[in-house]
Structures are given as C-alpha cells and as structure tokens.
Amino acid sequence: MDHLALSDDILMQVEKPARYIGKEYNSVVKDKDKIDIRFAMCFPDVYEIGMSHLGIQILYDMFNRMEGVWCERVYSPWLDLDAIMRKEGIPLFALESQDPIKDFDFLGITIQYEMCYTNILQVLDLAQIPLLAKDRDESHPIVIGGGPCSYNPEPIVDFFDLFYIGEGETRYGELIELYRECREKKLSRKEFLRKASHIPGIYVPSLYEVSYREDGCIASFQPIYEDVPAVVHKELVKDLSDTYYPMKPLVPYMKITQDRVVLEIQRGCIRGCRFCQAGQLYRPVRERDVDVLKQYATEMLKNTGHEELTLSSLSSSDYSRLPELIDYLIAECDRQHINISLPSLRIDAFSLDVMSKVQDIKKSSLTFAPEAGSQRLRNVINKGLTEEVILEGARLAFEGGWTRVKLYFMLGQPTETEEDIRGIAELCNKIAAEFFDTVPKEKRVNGRVQIVASTSFFVPKPFTPFQWAPQCTKEAFVEKAYFTRKCISEQLNQKSIKYNWHEADASVMEGVLARGDRRLGEVILRVYQKGCFYDAWSEYYKHDVWLETIRECGLDPDFYTTRVRELDEIFPWDFIDAGITKEFLKREWIKAQEETISENCKQKCQGCGAARWGCGICVEPR
C-alpha cells in the first residue's frame, strides 16, 4: 500500500487517526495481480470495538489462507470522520489497501447487536452502495450478513443480499467457488443468489415471501421457487481442534477494548439458562484439545508481543481440562511476564486459588452473576446457582483477600414479583454481612467491603425458551429500578452497596428489533435517514425518533414487546433450524412457569436436538 485514502489534513482533524490508516502488525497485504476475489470484512461499530472481536480475526485468517482471495477490514467511521466523508464525497475504504469498498466482490458484515442496525446503513451509505438490496446491480458487492443477530435477520433483510447462518468456518469456500463459476459463465447477480441458496447455511431473503394475518402475526413464510429450501440449517464446526484459528492476530497501533491474546477454549455452554441466546445457539458444547490450546497460546504470544492473555468461553469453569491448561499458562506467562485474564469462572475454591496466582488481589474485584435475587426466580430462569453457593464463594473470596464484589442481575424477567426484586437487595446485604463475619476488624484494609450491584433489563431473544415471554414497558422497567434502589437503601449494610442500572429506552427498542419482522425494515431505513446511527451508544441514541418513526410506518412497538404470544405462533425466525427444536424450547418455557429446573448437559441430556450433529458433549461420556 503506497497511499492513504485520507489526506494528512483530514487525519489531523479526526480524534484518532490510527483508526483509519491500516498497516497494523500482522495485517495481510497481497499482490493484486495474484487475486481474483476481494472480500471486505466489516464490524459496524467503531474500530476499538471491532478490532476486539475474535470472530472477525478468525474469518480474516481463514479468507486470507484461500488461494486468490484477499480479505480486508472496514469499521464504522466515528462521527468526526463520518461528517468529513459525507461533505467531501470520500467513499468508505478498506484498511489494508485503502481502496473503496464499492469496488470489492463481497462486503461481509458481522451483526452482534440489534442496536447496530443503523450503523449497517451508515457503512453502506458511506461506501456508496445502494442501501436496499433490490437497487443493486452487477457493479456492486454482494452484501452478506452473519453473527448472532442473523438468527432473526428479518428486520434487516431489505439491506442484505444473503445471510450466512451459523459458524463461518465451514461453507465460505463453497460460496467463493460458486461466485467464481458464476462470474466465469457471466451469470447475473440474481442467478448467483439463487444458486447460493442451495449451499447449506445460506439464506437469500429475496427468494422468500411472507404473508400476515389481520392481527399482525405471520400467516405463512415460504420460498418463491421450488428449488429454494424452505428451512435453512445453521452451520457448525464439529471439531474445534481442527479448524481455522489466527496464529498471527492483528495488533493495533492504539488501545482497543480487548487489547490481548484471546484463547477460545470451547464453544457452547452446558448450563441452559433460559434467557441466554448464546447458550442455545452454540449448542452442543465443543472443547478444543488442551495440547492444541497450549500451542496456540505459545504461538500467538510470540507473534503479537501482547502482554496479556485471556480465555474466551461462555463458561470457562466447565472446560474439562482447565486445571492442566491453567497450570501451563501460569508457568508460561510467568516466564514471559504476561498477565492472565480469566473471565467466566465460577467462584469456587479452585477458581479463587487460580485467580490469587494471576491477579493482584488488592486491586481486583470478583464478579458473580446471580441474575435474580430470589431462589424462586433463579429456578424460573434455570440459573443453576443457589444462595448457599453464592455466599460460600463470597466467604472464600473474603478469606483470600478480596474486598470488592460485582453482582449482575436482570430486572423484568418472566414471573418476577416485588419479593424477587427485594431479594436483590437482601442478597447484597448478606454478602456484605459475610465479609464482616469472615474478616476480622484488624484485617479490613478499607474498613468495609464494596458491593457493586448492577441491573440490566430483560430482553426476550429468539431461540430461547423466553422467546414467548412478554417484555416490560419502559415505565415498568424504571419502576423496578427505583424499587431496587429503595430496597437497597433499607438494608443494614447499605453503605457498602453501590447500585447501577442500565437505560430502559434502548432495552425496549432492542426488544422490538430482536423479535421483529420484515415490516421493520422501513422503520430502520427512515430512522437512519433522520440522522440516527451509533444507537448502541447511549449518548447518541434517540428514543423519541424511533418511536415516532415506528408509528409513522403504521406499526405498534407493543406488538413486538409486551404482548403475550401463543405457543403455536409462527415466528419470523422459524424458517431457521438453529440445531435445537422448538418443542424443546416450549418444554423449557412451560417448566419456567412451573418454577422447575432442568439439569445441565453434563448431568442429563434434555433432548434439545443438538445430538443430531454427532459431536461435542452429545457424544462424549458424562
């Protein structure tokens, strides 16, 4: 690369020029004369967040191993550069080559969060690609969506040519080869997309039609051609120890959100929390071989110069070879003066012993995620965590020298009562009392323990047992937060407890988009045209504009959030086979209302449907 898309004058005007210049260590630059496919991988948020995403690093490595393919990166420009690019007519560009995205063959966008939907339009707009897929022709890139939000792509189907459903390591090679064949035969964009729909995991929205009943629910969802599959099956990597992983991760010039080596030890989770979408989507649990992980850690540290390593997993404590892996990492990292970060650990004697070896216990805090204040509600959500376990973990932590505890809860979960909310305050108080009972007065460094309780607001998600659950209104959410604060203020140890809660506005809109249908596409487009993007950032989110626009489009936000759904309702995402059956989710929804727990996958198979893959925990001896 011998040029920059932005002049020095422009770079001097923006807050962080390093976001836009490329040339990061381990970035891939290829000879354009030796490539025939150009793929732009996009994370529709600011550079610091996008660069921290492991999935993009994996796919970047995978594509660049392919013969004749060059994968580059693009992120959402921050507001300062966004304004300049619009004023000067500068097209959005890829970091590696600094070439315009509009000249690429593919633009792949990972969709991690519903509130980033308007940023997708920002990227397309700045790239000078028509926002609506129906307005694109052979001169435009094929726009692909992927990531967790693609499991209900319907609110954003107007903007995408196709979606890749599932884990990206398995089918992209076939898609690239099909594109080459179609280009050689001079087939049209529409012909390519129809052929692409035959590849497992590929969903082409333009090949399906939806009809609605008078009450607004879906009457039918079906393909418009006989050769197009009626069901799209998710893609899954069966052997995590034999697939792509970036041995030379990108190293940024500037501080990013996760500035460290990331070691993904497993995918999936055995726990079965009923609110958790990731825990359902990534079934079955699959582990990476411990010897492979040791090799990865050694290579990645050597190839990056990072001074910190972190484990990536939904529940690291459930990795079967964790003690062996931790022992190796502690020895290796101590030798190289590398810090280790160990998120997603249960607070038990083993975990605390490990953390005491890798953390400065005077500065660190411990995190518990009870999610609910009462045991009744923890049973409803199938959290699998008792008050006794929580208090015992706190006692062990206090004995080990920790004096700061973070607690995460959700408000507005199904069947929640005032007593459940009061339980949040009472549990915080009990943990504080545990500190005073455990730590002698002369050993209390700061006099008292610090309990930081944070509540988020429950948002029902597709492919969870709670996909049938009504969501609270904004007013109800706020009332619950105020009631939580009041209950905390009544506790004996309230001076040791700090309470934080999230904004309710964005949670409501997230709920609308999470379970939305195709009719919301017009809303998202109009909202963007009114100047909304970076909605995931609370300081830029305009709730009134969203509500006004939804009603302008003849829709009611309550239809998507607060109404009760029948068990036999057709959901916008029902055409996707995510590997778990709807019957299983129904059973779990009914058990939730009965306050009945389900054992985790290691204790007993619950018949979720994931055994069909024939891999991971489903075929391993328990």
Could you tell me the fold of the domain covering 8-233? Answer: Rossmann fold (3.40.50)
CB 222 within 8 A of CB 270: no
For 343-365, the pLDDT digits (tens) are 888 887 788 888 777 765 444 67
For the chain, the residue count is 622
> Domain 260-359+579-622 classified CATH 3.90.1720.10?
no
Give CATH 3.30.750.210 domain extents, the chain.
260-359+579-622
| Rounded average pLDDT over 401-410 | 92
CB 313 within 8 A of CB 277: no
Is pLDDT above 80 for 6? yes
Query: Rounded to an integer, what distance in angstroms lies between the CA atom of residue 212 and that of residue 122?
Result: 30
C-alpha of 78 from chain center: 21
| Residues pairing with 263 in the sheet | 311
For 66-84, the pLDDT digits (tens) are 999 999 999 999 999 999 9
Query: Rounded to an integer, what distance in angstroms lies between the CA atom of residue 366 and that of residue 390?
Result: 12
For 539-579, the pLDDT digits (tens) are 999 999 999 999 999 999 999 999 999 999 999 999 999 99
Is the bond leading into 284 cis (omega within 30 degrees of zero)?
yes
For 430-464, the pLDDT digits (tens) are 999 999 999 998 888 777 899 999 999 999 999 99
| Rounded average pLDDT over 21-47 | 97
| Rounded average pLDDT over 315-343 | 90
Pick from 595, 553, 534: which is nearest to 380 by CA? 595
Residue predicted with more confidence, 443 or 19: 19
For the beta carbon of residue 229, count every other beta carbon within 10 angstroms.
Answer: 17
CB 249 within 8 A of CB 297: no
For 455-492, the pLDDT digits (tens) are 999 999 999 999 999 999 999 999 999 999 999 999 99
Element (H, E) at 479: helix 474-489
What is the token pair recorded at 566?
A: 């029948």
Is pLDDT above 80 for 87? yes
Query: Rounded to an integer, what distance in angstroms lies between the CA atom of residue 58 and that of residue 60?
Result: 5
Query: Rounded to an integer, what distance in angstroms lies between the CA atom of residue 117 and that of residue 316?
Result: 30
Q: What was the pLDDT predicted at 359?
A: 65
CATH code at 362-502: 3.30.750.200
Sign of CA dihedral 360, 364, 368, 369: negative
Confidence band (pLDDT; 50, 70, 90) for 1? Answer: low
Q: What was the pLDDT predicted at 355?
A: 79
Pairing of strands 266-267, 218-223: unpaired
What whole-number percentage of the chain has pLDDT above 90?
A: 89
Give CATH 3.30.750.200 domain extents, the chain.
362-502
| Rounded average pLDDT over 216-233 | 98
Give CATH 3.40.50.280 domain extents, the chain.
8-233
